[in-house]
Chains A and B, each alone.
Chain A
Amino acid sequence: MDSVLKTGTAEAPKENRIGLKSSDYQGGKSTLCAGCGHDAISNQIVRAFYEMSIKPESVAKFSGIGCSSKTPAYFMQRSHGFNTVHGRMPAVATGAMLANHRLMGIGVSGDGDTASIGLGQFMHMVRRNIPMIYIIENNGVYGLTKGQFSATADEGSKLKTGVVNDLHPMDLCALAVQLGCGFVARGFAGDPKQMINILKASIAHDGMAVIDVISPCVTFNNHEGSTKGYQYSKDHQELLHQIGFVQSYEQIEVDYEPGTVKEVEMHDGSKILLKKLEEDYDASSPIEALKRLHRAEEEGQMLTGLVHLNPQKKSFISLLNVTDDVLATLPLERTRPPKEALAKIMKDLM
């Protein structure tokens, strides 16, 4: 059990199951500040996709605008990427996923990009349950425009300039739960062990997976008085449970004491294991999730883990009942009705 919870797989091989090396998942060189939380997340994304043996060519990366939104250029070079406009990644990603529902979509956004300018699109995307991963690299500030507060900044949090935020923070996890999202998690860039398993679980999820990751901005929000820096986050992180992930092909017998671990089977046959810590948290209940998030806020905890999980929720693609083939490349015979069809339409108009 412990090894499962640590890495999610047994010893990672040099080549994954589709014969690719970890280097096949690398991206371009990052231009972010040294130590930026966003880079730590990119590293875990590379590792998760590599270890899950996802073909990079089948992945499409999306982002908005911000330091965080630059990162798709820094991981998985062999995947198509699209750095869209500020706050509008959800629409672009939605269109692309409709055009080709076989793509595995991963979106990276920032707290500014998602919680302010892009809040409307984010909410509608969650509501539609577009089957892709949506990561918010949450640092409580606008990094790229030099450190103004974002809408996720905690009350009382202080900028380097001494300005104090006295507005209530927006909790994107709570919002996602409220909008019916089937996979909601919060991670911390400084906790790669947890992050990797959250990411793997999100890859296995068929539906929208919202992952809010506290990702310190070392340049503008990592000082005394900031509430999203490394030290503050470490001090206040509260784990809901320990997360493990077992791929479908792994015949790992995990033994654990009865009642201590919850197993959730995903569509692809993989399993998410949630090991109980102090509290007995039920990730399947949205109400419990909202209550717990609320309490965390009141008590100043940085709550991390799989906040809510419901693998059964139908995705937008299946609701639209589109053909199993890719819309983008359907041949003309299938997209242009026959001559008789036009003749009939014309006749009805005569």
Chain B
Amino acid sequence: MAVSSLVTRYASLVTGHIRYNFPPLRSIKESYVSDLSSVTAVLEEPARGGRAPVVNDLTIHVATVNGSGSQSSNSVLMRSIFQMGVPVSGKNMFPSNIAGLPTWFTIRANKDGWTARKREVDVMVCMNAQTAKEDVEALDPGALCIYDAPLNCKAIRNDIVFFEVPFAKLAGELTPDSRLRKLLTNMIYVGIIAELIGIDREEINGALNKQFKGKTKAIEPNVQAIDKGMEFARSSLPSQNRWRIERMNKTAGKIIIDGNAAAAIGAMFGGVTVVTWYPITPSSSLCESLIDYLKQHRIEKDGKATFAVVQAEDELAAVGMVLGAGWAGARSMTSTAGPGISLMAEFIGLGYFAEIPGVIWDIQRVGPSTGLPTRTAQGDVNQVALLSHGDTQHIVLIPSSVSECFDFASEALDLAEQFQTPIFVLSDLDLGMNNWMSDPFVYPEKPITRGKVLTKEKLTELNGKWGRYADVDGDGIPWRTLPGTDHPFASYFTRGSGHDTQARYSEKPEDYKALVDRLKKKYETAKQYVPKPAVDIRDGAKIGFIAYGTTDFALEEARHQLLSERSIETSYFRLRALPFTEELRDFVATHDRVYVVEQNRDGQMGDLIRLELGEDQRKIRKVLHYIGLPCDARFITNEVLRMEA
């Protein structure tokens, strides 16, 4: 099949299933497997071992109804595996809905630490009548399917191992309370899986304790439900020895957290003082956790807060408040997603042109427009890099992990004040809302950067002679004063219209040009201060990868696949910020072909990279994953092999 027709077919399949509200797993899988497997035979996952159980390498996929309370059961299951010492990740695939629509939760446990999304499901738990058929049809032959008896999944196909469970009956034996019964039903499957794959009872208890914050009253019924599930599995289900979880020690001392909470903690320790927000998935939980943490740690003895949080009337107001606060000297931030970024465009231009600090987190979701509000993407790259009219360029930090969310939260506040400009932090739904394992965050020892601020004393030394927009240091960064500075020459007038070095209104050609040229110089200076890329160059590697953000997880696994399955050695340049730094050119120069892997349709970062490269841009190839689900390793491997062929 010609590459172009393959791509179109692939694309049409994908758009095809987007017409459904919630794509059944099967159509997504088919679009990869059936199309791409015809290209090369190596695309199949290495065959699953014969008799010997697969230890500490499995994916559990749970299908439930949104609002049924399965969240805590899934967390308990994931955490128990984590406490067994096995690296694990948990991804929630949820609808934009409060109750009633289908939702899925995927737990991937992997002894080697590969915790990106994986397409193949080993153990499926079917609890939702709406999706049971599609869920079962999407499974690979040989998978294990545990299902709620009335769904009668076993009738759907015969190459799957089916375990039928009368959940209603079991739950009925636990409590007469119908509401509680619903919640406990979910805990029963935790007990069943635990028994089947060998999770220690004691670790489940630990996980329950954590989940319900040690509240005995809440824990008690759940313990019974888990017992019920385990007991049922022992007495009424055949045992299975295909997938096992065995104790190992790769998680000791690690934490589990989502990127939004990590960012919140980072911002709090980064000394944020003014926070504004307008609710939007998938960013709301960032400011919501921040509010919780601030209330716990930033209320002083007299009961007063060292912060102010405002739930604004919209994102326009949110970013306006951030800039107002930044102008007055506060470390300020807001958090939003694509639609909010679109609204902020005019203000961001003001922040850039009038040189006002502020931090904007963009937890990307699928666009354009409302798009798929609860699915993940990296489609806001162009938008944040160049937001607003006129010539604008922004500093963008791109975390790839929860620990970078933590670090970049304060880094962004520092850079905002250092460069007196809006700073974007580009995260996404996968990183922001899903659970990731991490080393504990390191307490920031270095003092915060407050940038070039002239105090009353400094002004006195200068005899009051200064120019707000004068480049006295040659780095493009001017000095500023804060309103309220008690000196007769402290004030200046801030405006988004043309201005000279003394902040006076000006439409003179030379003043305008000098101003925008200096802003460009400032952006150049930023190259020395933004986080450097993480570069891994392998001897003899002809292929280089460039990726950023959450693509990292799948990419590292894909490199491993390419090396272990095809002996293809690859280098990797993980971009962590804009503007690009000098390392980018060097990396591309030393490789024959460079695959830019990202999660959007147009290869937005790939284009920005091409623009940066000149001659070498012909080396750039794009691997694009844009179906709303996190990128997986096999996809990247297959795409690279296809293009290498």
Binding site for B on A (CB under 8 A): 24, 28, 55-58, 60, 72-73, 77-85, 88, 90-100, 102-103, 120-121, 124, 128, 320-324, 326-330, 332, 334-337, 339, 341-343, 345-346, 349-350
Contacts and interface: CB of A to CB of B under 8 A. Distances in A.
Contact of B329 (A100, A121, A349): A100
B255 interface: yes
A328 B482 contact: yes
Task: Give the most central of A96, A121, A330: most B CB within 10 Å.
Answer: A96
Contacts of A326: 329, 484
Centre residue among A24, A92, A102 by max chain B CB count within 10 A: A92
Interface of B, helix, strand, loop or mixed by DSSP: loop
A336 B270 contact: yes
Given A321-B303, A336-B269, A95 B327 contact: yes
Contacts of A85: 346-347, 350, 496
B483 A60 contact: yes
Given A320-B305, A328-B273, 13 more contacts: A57-B488, A82-B327, A88-B317, A91-B318, A91-B324, A94-B310, A97-B328, A98-B308, A121-B313, A323-B305, A329-B329, A330-B271, A350-B256
What is the size category of the interface that chain B forms with chain A? 35 or more
Contacts of A94: 310, 317, 320-321, 324
B293 A345 contact: yes
A92 B327 contact: yes
A80 B487 CA distance: 11
A95 B322 CA distance: 6
B306 A60 contact: no
Contacts of A328: 273, 325, 328-330, 482
Interface of B: 253-257, 265, 268-274, 276, 293, 297-298, 300, 302-310, 312-314, 316-332, 346-347, 350, 440-441, 443-444, 447-448, 481-488, 490-497, 504-505
B457 to A, nearest CB: 14
28 contacts: A55-B486, A57-B485, A57-B490, A58-B486, A73-B495, A79-B491, A81-B492, A82-B324, A82-B327, A91-B312, A92-B320, A94-B321, A95-B322, A95-B324, A96-B328, A96-B483, A100-B330, A102-B484, A103-B484, A124-B313, A124-B317, A321-B305, A322-B307, A327-B330, A329-B329, A330-B273, A337-B298, A343-B443
From A120, A327, A350, name the one whose CB has the most chain B CB atoms within 10 angstroms.
A327
Contact of B496 (A83, A103, A342, A349): A83
Contacts of B271: 330, 332, 335-336
A252 B303 CA distance: 41
A327 B485 CA distance: 14
A350 B255 contact: yes
A199 B622 CA distance: 63
Contact of A78 (B272, B448, B491): B491
A80 B327 CA distance: 10
A120 B313 contact: yes
A98 B320 CA distance: 12
A208 to B, nearest CB: 15
A139 B317 CA distance: 26
A81 B274 contact: no
A91 B327 CA distance: 12
A337 B321 CA distance: 24
A48 to B, nearest CB: 18
Nearest to B329: A328
Nearest to A128: B310
Contact of B320 (A91, A321, A349): A91
Contact of B317 (A24, A80, A91): A91
Given A84-B320, A332-B447, A350-B255, A323 B484 contact: no
Contact of B483 (A80, A320, A330, A345): A80
B297 A341 contact: yes
Given A328-B329, A328-B482, A323 B300 contact: yes
B306 A323 contact: yes
A320 to B, nearest CB: 5
Given A57-B491, A92-B321, A334 B306 contact: yes
A80 B254 CA distance: 49
A327 B320 contact: no
A100 B254 contact: no
Contacts of B302: 323
B189 to A, nearest CB: 25
A30 B279 CA distance: 42
A346 B485 contact: no
A97 B320 CA distance: 12
A323 B305 CA distance: 5
Contacts of B481: 80
A186 to B, nearest CB: 25
Nearest to A330: B306
Contacts of B486: 55, 57-58
Report the 7 A-B pairs with minimum CB-CB distance, sorted nearest first.
A91-B320, A95-B324, A328-B329, A99-B330, A95-B321, A80-B483, A99-B328
A327 B483 contact: no
B300 A334 contact: yes
A155 to B, nearest CB: 29
A329 B448 CA distance: 12
Contact of B484 (A24, A93, A100, A330): A100
Given A91-B316, A99-B329, A121-B320, A324 B304 contact: yes
A128 B317 CA distance: 13
A87 to B, nearest CB: 9
Contacts of A342: 265, 269, 441, 443
B163 to A, nearest CB: 33
Contact of B448 (A79, A84, A336): A336
B328 A335 contact: no
Contacts of A341: 297
Contacts of B314: 120
A72 B497 CA distance: 14
Contacts of A97: 324, 328
Contacts of B447: 332
Contacts of B490: 57, 80
Contacts of B504: 28
Contact of A93 (B303, B324, B443, B482): B324
Contact of B328 (A90, A103, A121, A339): A103
A332 to B, nearest CB: 6
Nearest to B299: A321
Contacts of B495: 73, 82-83
B484 A60 contact: yes
A124 B325 CA distance: 17
B317 A349 contact: no
Contacts of A83: 493-497
A335 B257 contact: no
B440 to A, nearest CB: 4
A33 B488 CA distance: 29
Contacts of A332: 271, 447-448
Given A100-B482, A100-B484, A346 B440 contact: yes
Contacts of B497: 83
Give the one of A321, A326, A346 with max B CB within 10 A. A346
B487 to A, nearest CB: 7
A241 B128 CA distance: 71
Contact of B254 (A58, A93, A350): A350
A91 B274 CA distance: 13
Given A79-B491, A124-B313, A346 B441 contact: yes
A110 B313 CA distance: 21
Max count, chain A CB within 10 A of own CB: residue among B253, B306, B308, B447: B308
B325 A95 contact: yes
A117 to B, nearest CB: 10
Given A100-B329, A328-B482, A95 B320 contact: yes
B484 A339 contact: no
Contacts of A350: 253-256, 440
Contacts of A343: 443
Nearest to B489: A78
Given A58-B484, A94-B324, A84 B317 contact: no
